[in-house]
Amino acid sequence: MNNGKSILTTKIKASGKFYLLLAAFLVTAFSGFAQTRSEALLTDNWKFYRGKNDAAYNKSFNDKNWQTVSVPHDWAIAGPFDKEIDKQVVAIEQNGETKPTEKTGRTGALPYIGEGWYRKTFRISNLTKGKRVLIQFDGAMSEPRVYFNGKQVGEWNYGYNYFYIDVTDLALADADNVLAVHLNNRPQSSRWYPGAGLFRNVHLIVKDEISIDNWGVSITTPVVNEQLSKVNIKTKITGSNVRLVTQVLDAQGKEVVSETTEKIFGNEFEQNIAVANSKLWSPETPYLYTAVTRLYQGDVLKDEVKTRFGIRTISYQQGTGFSLNGVKRKFKGVCLHHDLGPLGAAINVAALKRQLTILKDMGCDAIRSSHNMPSPEQLELCDEMGFMFLAESFDEWAKPKVENGYHLYFDKDAEKDVVNLVRANRNHPCIVMWSAGNEVPDQWGAEGVKRAKWLQDLFHREDPTRPVTVGMDQVKNTMQSGFGALLDVPGLNYRTHLYEEAFEKFPQGFILGSETASTVSSRGVYKFPVVFAKNKQYNDLQCSSYDMECCDWSNLPDDDFVLQDDKPWVIGEFVWTGFDYLGEPTPYDDYWPSRSSYFGICDLAGIPKDRYYLYRSRWNKEEPTLHILPHWNWEGREGQTTPVFVYTNYDSAELFVNGKSQGIRKKNNETHQSRYRLMWMDVKYEPGTLKVVAYDSTGKVAAEEKVVTAGKPYQIVLNADRKMLTADGKDIAYVTVSVVDKNGCPCPTGTQQLKFNVKGQGTFKAVCNGDATSLEPFTKPTMKLFSGKLVVLVESAKQKGNIELAVTGSSLKGAKINLKAN
């Protein structure tokens, strides 16, 4: 097992000016790219048992009656939801609470607590003398204890981290090998839904004894220029009398340059390779090269590793803030928890790609993994699709937030956890910053300052090219103690009223909004009167989508917009959160049923809320945005004041109700909201048509949008994010289901119970309606609409062919949609 030790001792300059250069990423899933090395995902035919079983590690144990599952797997996502699961009586200090109250949905009210066993039997077809066998885990929730052929071979504590184990001495060439993993999830071990099980991929790696080390390739670009860039490649190996050949390929797979070296220092080769006519990586142009590294002994190829990388330079400087490739910019980022809504914590590439596609359309260009280490798949997609990444490590240090949190392991494990985080991911061009922690209670006192410095030095030792931040919520304390001053990048979580003071007192010369807004809303739900409110609660346990409500400790989006636009020393923001997530149902932590968050710009099903278009109107500079809220189905509100908001990147617009003008509104500086929203606060509701006409800077009509009062729900409508799937048994299509009236007008208040049936080369995977109070399971093929919509997930089979999804509901005309697995 990787022991977390490092020979790298270079340190980054800790304040003032930073020149932080490229990254690339280590490929983890190239199978059979050389006869000398093979890598396979251990995906199918795992045996799973929920509970305690002291004999399950034995190779001869009979697991025939255990459940057969595929990995990645989350054993808890099927439910049921239960308020007694992980019920906590606590005061959430991060939220300003001083008195303990009963929290029933804080960790999602799903059955993740307890022990679980996974067993996998397999043969290693290419195992011969002189080969090494590694098992690599991308994450296992949690406290994995690993057994191979009846012997314990390793363990880890942190469920979000990557680790690998050398099992060569126990591996059998011509017989069954048995891998067994025991997991244990303690109560009160998380502040959100952590998931349960082997929720990330497990790799089997077979290579020569003379080979490139696991995570042994490190690529940086110390000189970046479109005419000529210098690519520095360090390669750690095991063996002697060897030479290294590195070939750089462009995005089309054509050779750019090749270099050979026999000079080795200790166990490491170092090459400096010139790349002419460099194409630079950025969110707008995420260009990726590939380094093919071949290790030879004499004329015999011993190993080959492919590493994708991007050429780019980053800098953080007093006065100018953050620059990418020499161009100043501000982060337009969101925070993301690791769960994928109805899929739970189990990683799925199609689900991750859908999230990023939705965020890309919004104009988002950066992701913060909150508050844990990201999956390799998420980072690979951010490399490919063009997202900068703030890779976070811990939610706790030595001082606890929850009884059984990471503080139990910090003193013993923090160094090796940081080492593995960096070495596994340091080559991703998307990563532009590391985070050592989030709102840690260690912000108080001298010990916390020492821990912050120790962790930052660890990151610098392992990666001298990127800065380190911490998401700070106790900003006054960090000003006094020196905690904030020592960080490479001072990150403020909320505390907009302290930005000016922090800028004056911190020496770095810039401030990052490491966590912003925490505005709460429920998709398609609107409350009256429309007024600014903090910690507002309603009998239906929903939040208003007028985007005027936030928490006691947070603020509205517009407050951050002003800082981002007016203060050149604010280098960007990461909004809490891009998508709703399971658990942490603020402001209903102590109400039931409420089991998921309201913070998302998109709901738990991935359907954009109104606030999506507010951010899009600022962030997406390529396409126009014109969005009206609320819906216009308000039976019983006739004649009552029903304010209308418009989110648009046009400066002015005119509102009409049934053809009658309600006046023109123009963005102005009277309030933070009027600067970014067009608002008609005195509109009286009458059924019919609500229309907005936007005007360009010359006063000409530029665009228009309308909302119509719908009649009774009549027909189901289906819309898939894509219709062609890969026949690999894990690709997923997301089908949005809505209802319309006889005239085809969407029915925004529909709550009908629907049923789903999938035929052909696909299966029903899950369903989600985005309602934080729904206790219907995600894994059963029936669910009620919420605000007129829900999303059905259809998973491909491993055989090619047609797939049909049929959706029915009482008193509704059903609908079918055809997909294809190819």
H/E stretch holding 666:
strand 660-666
CA distance 14 to 450: 14
Token readout for 641 is 């004041």
Q: Are 454 and 334 in contact (CB under 8 A)?
A: no
Catalytic residue among 396, 515, 549, 584: 515
H/E stretch holding 787:
none
DSSP string, 8-46: -------SSEEEEEEEEEE-----SSBTTBEEEE--S-E
Among candidate residues 159, 210, 206, 208, the one with its CA nearest the CA of residue 181: 159
Identify how many contiguous H helices and E strands the chain contains and give both numbers. Answer: 10, 49
Q: Are 232 and 271 in contact (CB under 8 A)?
A: yes
Q: Are 807 and 737 in contact (CB under 8 A)?
A: yes
CA distance 126 to 35: 9
CA distance 603 to 522: 8
Give the up-direction half-sphere exposure of residue 298: CA atoms within 13 A in the CB hemisphere.
1
Q: Are 706 and 690 in contact (CB under 8 A)?
A: yes
Which residues lie closer than 8 Å to 388 by C-beta, 6 or more apart?
Answer: 283, 324, 331, 333, 365, 366, 367, 382, 430, 431, 432
Catalytic residue among 39, 439, 776, 795: 439
CA distance 608 to 723: 21
Residue 9: Cβ within 10 Å count: 9
Among candidate residues 139, 85, 138, the one with its CA nearest the CA of residue 114: 85
Size (the chain), residues: 822
Assess whether 439 carries a catalytic annotation: yes
CA distance 170 to 301: 26
Which residues are part of the catalytic machinery? 439, 515
